[in-house]
């Protein structure tokens, strides 16, 4: 009761201490060790790295070190790199609206340094040696390393023990860290990645093609039981692979979406993909898919959440329709379609050039107004080709089929599922053919 009364007493308005401000901001960016790994990988990719090594200790709770061979940071810029809202990625509102890099907010290193001990070591190409700066003391000293950058993070949440108590076991946090690296490795097959834990290698992916990287990370079974998605609308490219209905899973643990090279969790795209499976997947089964979406940077807002895992499209309805129809077209493709088709989509938004994208999204017009994506609609079920009141006499039979339902040899060969007798449970059809009774799943037959 006393605590309630104390909270009800009016307190004066005053500015928060800078240290508390930094820790509040860090709570939006750093949730667990995997968040640190993600932010540091983004910086390494923006630095032009071709090889990245992630070294973890205690599942990333005790230590995280990310090493890259990028262009490095000049010695006189090391201190600025650790300050809040200091970045080389953008310098104006116009650049923010068309941001083409993985990072841009300029707060990741500062946020991490407010909840952990951080040391930054870097060497640029024109420097005689590397320099190391301690984020807490600001002390700088000479160091030895090749051109590139190493960020060392020790004892995450050491100064916020309440936050540290919410972390899971070392094994669980390690799994999240590895998953963070996998997400980057899936989209940047042109880079080499290595993960070490407590001094032992746990994962390594050499530079490869995107198809080979997908098979390596998601399994050959995913590639075998999926169809290529390949649509180019000039201002919007959708590529990747989507799993067949037969390969659906009980969990949504094999669903990856990238927008301009950035892994995102977007409800609009998830809904569009799920809508494409409406006629072929029912119940609680979850489709598997890997989609790379490249869109004009000015038509997507990535400055939605500090963690940069959400985006907002300017033309959300058109993007939703494009994704839905692209996935539907892939599902309707012949089962024998090559499993290694691969569209060359820019791996990062920095590869997008306004001239190549003609500045706008271009949508084929359809009669009667509106817009539609003409990528090949799935064929309508044969029994929908007649008048609405007509009912099929044979599953898959044409409108002029024998009305008596005689099982001729020709009909048996052409319509092996036979003549429909009854509908069961709203999802199955009981049919009769030359061999006897057949139970048909209507969704699969469609």
Q: Which residues partner with 437 through β-bridges?
A: 432
Largest CA distance in the chain: 93
Q: Take residue 426 and report the two structure tokens written for it.
A: 């709203």
Kind of pairing between the strands at 289-295 and 255-259 = parallel
23-67 pLDDT, tens digit per residue, is 666 556 788 999 999 999 999 999 999 999 999 999 999 999 999
Do 261 and 178 reside in the same domain of the chain?
no
Q: Residue 312: CB partners within 8 Å, gap ≥ 6?
A: 300, 301, 304
Which pLDDT band, with edges at 50, 70 and 90, does 259 fall under? very high
Do 250 and 395 reside in the same domain of the chain?
no
Please state, for a pLDDT cut of 70, what percent of the chain lies above it: 74
Predicted confidence at residue 328, as pLDDT, reads: 94
Are the C-beta atoms of residues 54 and 196 closer than 8 Å to each other?
yes
Q: 187 burial class (0-12, 13-18, 19+ CB within 10 angstroms)?
A: buried
Q: Residue 378: CB partners within 8 Å, gap ≥ 6?
A: 279, 328, 329, 331, 332
Interval 262-287 mean pLDDT: 90
Do 152 and 223 reside in the same domain of the chain?
no
Are the C-beta atoms of residues 193 and 54 closer than 8 Å to each other?
yes
- 269 lies in some domain: yes
- Across the chain, mean pLDDT equals 79
- 68 lies in some domain: yes
Which pLDDT band, with edges at 50, 70 and 90, does 381 fall under? very low
CA separation, residue 308 to residues 7, 21, 68, 266, 305 (Å):
35, 20, 21, 11, 5
Interval 71-90 mean pLDDT: 87
- 375 lies in some domain: no
Interval 122-150 mean pLDDT: 95
Do 177 and 34 reside in the same domain of the chain?
yes
- Pick from 205, 225, 246: which residue ends a domain? 205
Please determine, for residue 390, whether its predicted confidence score (pLDDT) is greater than 50. no
Do 199 and 215 reside in the same domain of the chain?
no
- How many domains, the chain? 3
107, containing H or E segment: none
- 49 lies in some domain: yes
Q: 417 burial class (0-12, 13-18, 19+ CB within 10 angstroms)?
A: middle
Residue 146 maps to which CATH number? 3.30.565.10
Between residues 357 and 317, which one has the greater pLDDT?
A: 317
- 370 lies in some domain: no
- Pick from 205, 228, 247: which residue ends a domain? 205
- 194 lies in some domain: yes
Do 71 and 36 reside in the same domain of the chain?
yes
Which pLDDT band, with edges at 50, 70 and 90, does 90 fall under? low
Predicted model pTM: 0.72
Predicted confidence at residue 418, as pLDDT, reads: 75
Do 303 and 159 reside in the same domain of the chain?
no
CA separation, residue 133 to residues 74, 103, 113, 147, 446 (Å):
12, 21, 12, 16, 63
Do 198 and 324 reside in the same domain of the chain?
no
Residue 347 maps to which CATH number? 3.30.230.10
332-372 pLDDT, tens digit per residue, is 875 544 443 445 455 444 334 333 333 333 333 333 333 33
Please determine, for residue 376, whether its predicted confidence score (pLDDT) is greater than 60. no
184-238 pLDDT, tens digit per residue, is 999 999 999 999 999 999 999 999 998 899 999 999 899 999 999 999 988 899 9
Do 338 and 432 reside in the same domain of the chain?
no
Q: Which residue has the tokens 């709203």?
A: 426
Nearest to 149 by CA among 77, 253, 256, 255: 77
User: What is the domain extent for residue 312?
Assistant: 210-357
Kindly list the strands in the beta sheet with 436-441, ordered across the sheet, starting from the edge strand earlier in the chain. Answer: 419-424, 428-433, 436-441
Q: Residue 113: CB partners within 8 Å, gap ≥ 6?
A: 82, 135, 136
- 416 lies in some domain: yes
- 112 lies in some domain: yes
Distance linking the first and last C-alpha atoms of the chain? 65
Residue 23: CA atoms inside 13 Å, Cβ hemisphere, count? 15
Do 78 and 141 reside in the same domain of the chain?
yes
- Pick from 151, 177, 205: which residue ends a domain? 205
Interval 144-170 mean pLDDT: 92
Do 73 and 134 reside in the same domain of the chain?
yes
Do 234 and 352 reside in the same domain of the chain?
yes
């Amino acid at each position: 009761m006393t605590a309630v009364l104390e909270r009800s007493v009016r307190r004066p308005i005053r500015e928060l201490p800078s240290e508390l401000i930094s820790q509040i901001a860090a709570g939006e960016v750093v949730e667990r060790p995997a968040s640190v790994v993600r932010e540091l990988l983004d910086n390494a990719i923006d630095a032009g790295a071709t090889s990245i090594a992630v070294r973890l200790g205690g599942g990333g709770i005790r230590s995280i070190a990310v090493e890259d061979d990028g262009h490095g940071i000049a010695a006189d810029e090391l201190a600025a790199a650790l300050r809040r809202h200091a970045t080389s990625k953008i310098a104006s509102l116009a650049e923010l609206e068309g941001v083409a890099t993985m990072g841009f907010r300029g707060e990741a290193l500062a946020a991490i340094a407010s909840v952990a001990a951080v040391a930054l070591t870097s060497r640029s190409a024109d420097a005689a040696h590397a320099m190391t700066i301690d984020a807490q003391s600001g002390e700088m000293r000479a160091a030895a390393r090749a051109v590139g950058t190493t960020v060392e993070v020790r004892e995450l949440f050491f100064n916020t023990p309440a936050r540290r108590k919410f972390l899971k076991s070392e094994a669980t946090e390690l799994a999240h860290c590895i998953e963070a690296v996998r997400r980057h490795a899936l989209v940047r097959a042109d880079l080499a990645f290595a993960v070490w834990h407590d001094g032992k290698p746990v994962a390594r992916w050499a530079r490869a093609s995107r198809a080979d990287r997908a098979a390596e990370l998601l399994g050959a079974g995913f590639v075998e039981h999926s169809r290529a998605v390949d649509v180019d609308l000039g201002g919007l490219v959708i590529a990747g692979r989507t799993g067949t209905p037969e390969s659906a899973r009980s969990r949504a643990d094999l669903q990856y979406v990238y927008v301009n090279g950035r892994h995102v969790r977007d409800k609009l795209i998830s809904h569009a993909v799920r809508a494409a499976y409406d006629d072929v997947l029912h119940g609680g089964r979850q489709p598997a898919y890997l989609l790379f979406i490249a869109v004009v940077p000015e038509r997507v807002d990535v400055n939605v959440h500090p963690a940069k895992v959400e985006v907002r499209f300017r033309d959300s309805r058109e993007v939703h329709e494009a994704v839905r129809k692209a996935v539907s077209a892939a599902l309707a493709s012949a089962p024998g379609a090559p499993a290694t088709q691969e569209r060359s989509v820019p791996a990062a938004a920095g590869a997008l050039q306004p001239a190549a994208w003609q500045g706008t999204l271009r949508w084929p017009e359809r009669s009667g107004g509106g817009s539609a994506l003409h990528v090949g609609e799935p064929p309508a079920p044969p029994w929908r080709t007649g008048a609405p009141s007509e009912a099929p006499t044979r599953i898959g039979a044409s409108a002029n089929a024998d009305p008596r339902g005689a099982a001729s040899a020709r009909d048996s060969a052409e319509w092996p599922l036979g003549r429909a007798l009854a509908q069961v449970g709203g999802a199955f059809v009981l049919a009769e053919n030359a061999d006897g009774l057949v139970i048909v799943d209507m969704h699969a037959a469609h």
